[in-house]
Each structure stands twice: as C-alpha cells, then as structure tokens.
Chains A and B, each alone.
Chain A
Amino acid sequence: MEKVIRQISLFAENKPGKLATVARVLGEAKVNIRALTIAEAGDFGVIRMVVDDTQKAYEVLSEKGFTVSVTGVIGAEIRDVPGELYKIAGVLGDNDVNIDYAYSFLTPHEKAILIIRVDDTERAVELLEKNGIKVVTEDEISRI
C-alpha cells in the first residue's frame, strides 16, 4: 500500500554508545534520519526511525549485526499550529482505532508529520483521508 511508510525498528542494548554506533553506520552510508524515537524497556530498547532511504538503512544495519525489522506506519501531515494533533487523534479515537505509538517531526514547509503505528493501518489511512487529513508517502518523506 503506497500510503504505508516503512519504519526501521532495531533492537539495542541499553548501554552507552549504542545509539552512537547506529548513527555512525547510517551517517557513513549517507542515510538521513527524518524522525527517531527510542522506546526504553529496562536493559534494552527499541530504536524506531523513518529515514530517507529505508532499504539502504536496513542493509547497512543488518550487515553490522543489528537485529532490524521494517514496520508499516502512517505519516499524517498537519499544519504546525495548536490544535492540529487533535484532528488526527480525534478521528482515530472516534473510530476505535488504537494508536500503539507515535512521534513527529517538522518539515521546512511549516508542516508537521505525525508518524503513527496503529492496529489497523489500512483502515486508519482510509479514515484520515476521508476526514481531509493528508497521508504522506515514503517517497514524499524521502524528498523533504
């Protein structure tokens, strides 16, 4: 599905220098990180990120021995003004779509993109678009 963005998820021990290694590997491969979040769970964590070249990120991180997976997420575009997040969260909440996790980044064009992981991705995309919320493609994220 075109509107589903591939997110890089990787396992990391909760130790100094782990994120630095990931950042160095991606930097050397000329992969640019658009957005990143770390879910901390005691002695380990899951680094999740949206990058400009998912395939390359997956390959270089796998080669370096990281446990990596690709997860389908949604990128919903909103204006960078108060109240906009409610549009997304409201539509999904009103329709019983649960958000597993979310993180966001700003674009140079005064827009914000909310990356969302939901239980029913296709339905969420349909609902957002039906309610006038733009759902961006992976290609659009690459070209920001």
Chain B
Amino acid sequence: MQTPEVGEHFQIILDRRGFLDEIAVMVEVKKEYFSDRVLDLMNIKEKVEEALRNALNF
C-alpha cells in the first residue's frame, strides 16, 4: 500500500447489505504516525479511503 502512514498488513471484510455489497478495510496506523489528536487520525483515514477509491474506481 502506498500510504506511508499505515502498515503493510490489512484486513478486508466483505458484506452484503440488501442488494449492495459492502467492503470494509481495516488498516494499522504506524507507530510514528499515531497521534493523540483525533483530527490527525481522521486525516489518515480519509487519505486511505481516497487512495482506495482511486485505485478501485468507485
């Protein structure tokens, strides 16, 4: 994964809600990027979501 803030191990959880498939990706924040500020962590989350959306063409 080309996002330096998160580690190389991740978990993908596939589910189905009604007629729609749902995908959840669990990542681990690297120690050096972990912050006590929630906003910093939300920014990492958004960055990963954006990278996934671009790669998967969602």
**Residue A3 is within 8 A (CB to CB) of chain B in the complex:** no
- A105 contacts B by Cβ under 8 Å: no
Interface of B: prevailing SS: mixed
Which bucket holds chain B's interface residue count?
Answer: 10 to 19
Q: Is the interface on chain A under 10, 10 to 19, 20 to 34, or 35 or more residues?
A: 10 to 19
Residue A46 is within 8 A (CB to CB) of chain B in the complex: yes
A41 adjacent to B38 (CB under 8 Å): yes
A7, A41, A48, most chain B CB atoms within 10 A: A41
Most buried by B among A7, A69, A71: A69
Q: Which residues of A contact B41 (CB under 8 A)?
A: 11, 41, 44, 46
CB–CB A7/B36 < 8 A: yes
Using a CB–CB cutoff of 8 Å, the interface residues on chain B facing chain A are 28-29, 31, 34-38, 41-42
